[in-house]
Amino acid sequence: MTVARIEAVERPAETYEVRTIDSADLREALRQGWADFLEHRGDLLFVGIIYPAVGILAAVMALQGSLIPLFFPVAAGIGLLGPVAASGFYELARRREQGLPSDWSHFFDVVRRPSFDALTGVAGLLLVIFLAWLGVAAGLYGALIGTPPDSVAAFATQLFTTREGWALIVLGNLAGVLFSATVLTVSVVAMPMLVDKDVDARTAIHISRLAVAANKGVMLRWGVTVGVLLVLGSIPFFVGLAVVLPVLGYATWHLYTRLVAR
């Protein structure tokens, strides 16, 4: 390991200044994300279709027999893995910022970044959170309703016409908000930072936590915005995510550049 890399990895987290931002910064980040998407829309539509395809496959699997109750948790929980899918867009944004070629062929160049191992570690943590969310959702269904339905129609009847079903909706959404807040806190700065800088996972997550803590209200609005766009992009059949994911990926990069003094 070179001296330069040792200094980068061991640089104290406190030396990365976290800024406070406002709603204007959120709007500008989204505007820049949309502008970036329009500039590369042909390439990014091709790359972005990968994520909806995964969502469709997961949804189809969840609609098979006893997995029907997991359809909504899978559909909603796919967003928890969004920061992982967006890492390639962070790389494209970084390259474009530095005046380097940034077409779709560079999407997977993220694997060549010095902090890719740490990036993989954070991605693994997000996967664990996603699986924990599915476990909680399945546990709530088992505790409140029990027997899996034999059809989508029977599941809908259980969900919307019984007291237990409405309790499941309320508790499930509350749990979903907690999991989403955890993912936002862990990843909103950490994932783009690990693409941008040669730092370890602990430092990146720590800076992400500090950034969220310093901007609670603004980051709450950002989380709601992301959630709404992901829901809209998922209707119908996740196809809108081919547009939403690249836009949010770029916008998150621009948000990161405002939150952390690089």
Within a domain: 8? no
Is 91 within 8 Å of 113 (Cβ atoms)?
A: yes
Whether the CB-CB separation of 239 and 228 falls below 8 Å is answered with no
With respect to residue 9, please indicate whether it lies within any of the assigned structural domains. Answer: no
pLDDT tens track for 74-93 = 877 777 888 998 898 999 99
Helix axes 116-144, 201-214, angle to 10 degrees: 60
Instruction: Note whether residue 5 is domain-resident.
Output: no
Q: Give dist(CA 195, CA 90) in Å, integer.
A: 7
Spatial separation of the C-alpha atoms in residues 223 and 215, rounded to whole Å: 12
Is residue 207 within 8 Å of 16, Cβ to Cβ?
yes
HEC letters along 23-78: HHHHHHHHHHHHHHHHHCHHHHHHHHCHHHHHHHHHHHHHCCHHHHHHHHHHHHHH
Look at residue 6 and tell me if it is in a domain: no
Within-domain flag for 206? yes
Burial of residue 54, with CB atoms counted within 10 A of its CB: 0-12 exposed, 13-18 middle, 19 or more buried: middle
Structure tokens at 1: 């390991």
Low-confidence stretches of the chain (pLDDT < 70) are 1-14, 41-66, 236-237
Q: What is the pTM of this model?
A: 0.84
pLDDT at res. 14:
53
Q: Look at the block and give the residue holding tokens 């969220």.
A: 212
In-domain check, residue 1: no
Q: How many domains does the chain have?
A: 1
Q: How high is the pLDDT of residue 51?
A: 56
**Domain membership flag for residue 10:** no
Domain limits for position 202: 18-259
Predicted pLDDT of residue 45: 54
